[in-house]
Every structure is written in C-alpha cells, then in structure tokens.
Amino acid sequence: MITIVEANSPKLIKDFVKFPFELYKNHPYWVPPLIAEELETFDKTKNPAFSSAEATFYLAYKENKIVGRIAAIINWNEVNDQNKKKVRFGWWETIDDIEVTKALLEKVYELGKKNNLDHVEGPMGFSNLDKVGVVTEGFDELGSMITWYNYPYYKEHLEQLGFVKEKEYHENKFPFSNVKPEFFFRVQDMIKKRYQLTPINFKNTKEIMPYVDEMFDLFNKSYADLSSFVAITDIQKEYFKKKYISFINPEFIKFIVDKDHKIVAFSIVMPSFSEALQKAKGKLFPFGFYHLLKAKKNSKEVLFYLIGVDPEYQNKGVTAIIFNEYYNCFKEKGIQNCIRTPELADNHAIHNIWKHFNPVIFRKRCTYKLDF
C-alpha cells in the first residue's frame, strides 16, 4: 500500500531533500545538490519565488519506507498574467513503481483542479532559472549542478499515464579546440566600431554587482518571446544575485554596453562543479567547500549558463564580441570542454549562435503535459 504524506515540517522537508541521495546512491552520473541550498529553496521565508507562487511537497511511503517525492507548484504570474491554466510538478523522484508516480501526481492534479486550472506540466521549478525536464536521452553522461538527472523509467511512467511531450530541451557540448578565433575576431572588431559597443570584464564580484539588476532586466527582455518564459521579479533578482553571482568566477561574466553604457548583451559561464559536488555528497563541511573552491579555480570544463542579447541587437553579430572575450580568458585558463545547459529545441536563434563550433547534442530532456 502506498501512502502519501505532505512534507509540512522541518523533518519531513529534510527527508524530502535527502530521498534522492538514497535513490541514486553511488550512481556515476547523478550530481547531488547541496542539502543546505535545497532546504533554502523550499523555505517560504527565504525563497522569494513564494511571493508569486505556491507549492506543496509530498512524500510517498511504502512499507514505512520513502519511495518517492514530488512538489506541486502554481506560478501565479504565469496563471494570471499569461492566462496559462497550468499546475506544475517538480523535484519528482520515484522508485520504478508506476503506482508511486500515479499516487504522487494525483496530489498535483488535486491542487490544479482546486484552483480551476486545466492542465499539468513538468518537471519544472518555480521559474526559468530552476531545473527543468525529464532526461529522455543521454543517461550515460554526467549531470550538472543546474540540471536534474533521472532513470530511464521516468519517461515511461509519464507516457503510460497519458502524458505527452510538451517542450524538448537539448544539451550540447564541444571541445574548446573547436573554437577558431578567425570566425569572430575580425567580425567583433567591426561590430564594436559600427554600433559603438564596448565589452566589460571583471576582476572581482564587487565590480559586477552594480550591473546585475540591469542584466536581469535584459534577461527578461531577451527571453520574453519564448513559449516557456516567465519573467524574473524584482524580489527574485535580489535572491539570485546573492545566491549565484558570488558562486561564479568574475572573469566568466561578460557584459557588452553601448555608447551610453547601457547593457545590450550579457553572458554567464560557470566552471563545472559536477565532480566536486559528487565528492561533497551534499555537504559543504568538512570537505565539500574545499572541493567546490578547487573546482572554481581549476576546472577545465565550463558551462554556458545564460546568454542574452537585446532584441534590438540580435542578428547583428554582437555575440562575436562575447566569444572573443571568452576565447582569451579560456585560452589563458587552459579550458578544454564547453557545455551548453538546456536550451529549447525550437530556439533556433540560440542554436545559430554556436554553429561554427560544431557542437554535439549529448542529452535531451522534455517536459510532459496532461490535460485534466
């Protein structure tokens, strides 16, 4: 018999966070999150996502043992501003028992129907900066700190329960040796002169902070037309600023400004923390912090986390300036591999940016939808 319990106490939320550590114990491709960060994500007093969203967390038990978990989420900005009558599910993990998945999803349906919504989609988080999608291809590739990993049966469970693919995301990679400066060196110089643009590089995090709010504004503007996009609110900007910016090497953040010093493009790249997080096993202390700091300084693999260009400057070659700045930085640091985090399969504009580097799709993931 399967019993579903709401995780509504500190102990149960901690059980919710720690369940995947048992499910994927010693798995070579699963990258564990930091337990403290996950707990903060689910804390309504700390995560500003709860100012415009609601979530309920559930655990599934079988024979007094946790066998699954799920978060039922409503992003009210999405419902009210975009008129999408959608309830989300995220942070879904389960043993290979479709009855567990079915019981967990029933709780998601309940929340949706209670609020007069008409469909469910997931897995996805509160916003576009959260993790997204079920892995459908590429199970033998190492995950990352900003993606979910899952067993192949997750996809099968959803499809057997009547879910259909809603959005597909691709993850790509290419060796740094594929990056040939002749593709962008001359072009970037011409683009800078034609549009009076200037790249800004940073040596420390303090220098970046005055630009971050404007960067998030540009993020909202440049991604607004994507089908899955929900804008980042002002209160979320402050949260993400504190949570992520200090985690990233300052030299891996690039801004392009116009003659009035207005940001027209940005890019954020992160060192790969995957192996460091596997060694940390969810904890910063006593040794996790050391592994993460070592990866931040010495990782030879980088993840292109975000890139955004003002619509007014799209298709004008501005990314050539960004690539030129990264080329010099990566060459100095001895970077060997470049990974692109999940991008919508139908976002052809972003795919065209990378075409000269001969990227290879190494993993696919999807969100799934079911109408009530």
Tell me, what's the pLDDT at 194? 96
Q: What is the sign of the dihedral through the CA atoms of 311, 313, 317 and 320? A: negative
Q: Residue 315's pLDDT is what?
A: 87
pTM over 0.85: yes
Report the distance separating Cα 278 and Cα 149, nearest Å.
13
Provide the pLDDT for residue 198.
Answer: 97
Looking at residue 183, its pLDDT comes to 82
H helix runs in the chain, sequence order: 10-23, 35-41, 76-81, 98-114, 153-160, 185-195, 205-223, 234-244, 274-280, 288-298, 318-333, 348-353
Domains 2-170 and 175-362 share a fold: yes
Question: What average pLDDT is seen over the chain?
Answer: 94
Task: Delimit the domains of the chain by residue range.
Answer: 2-170, 175-362
> The CATH number of 175-362 is which of 3.40.140.10, 3.40.630.30, 3.40.50.150, 3.40.50.11540?
3.40.630.30
Q: What is the pLDDT of residue 322?
A: 95
Ranges in the chain, pLDDT < 70:
227-228
User: Tell me, what's the pLDDT at 227?
Assistant: 66
Nearest to 263 by CA among 218, 330, 230: 218
- Supply 262's token pair: 């207005």
CATH, range 2-170: 3.40.630.30
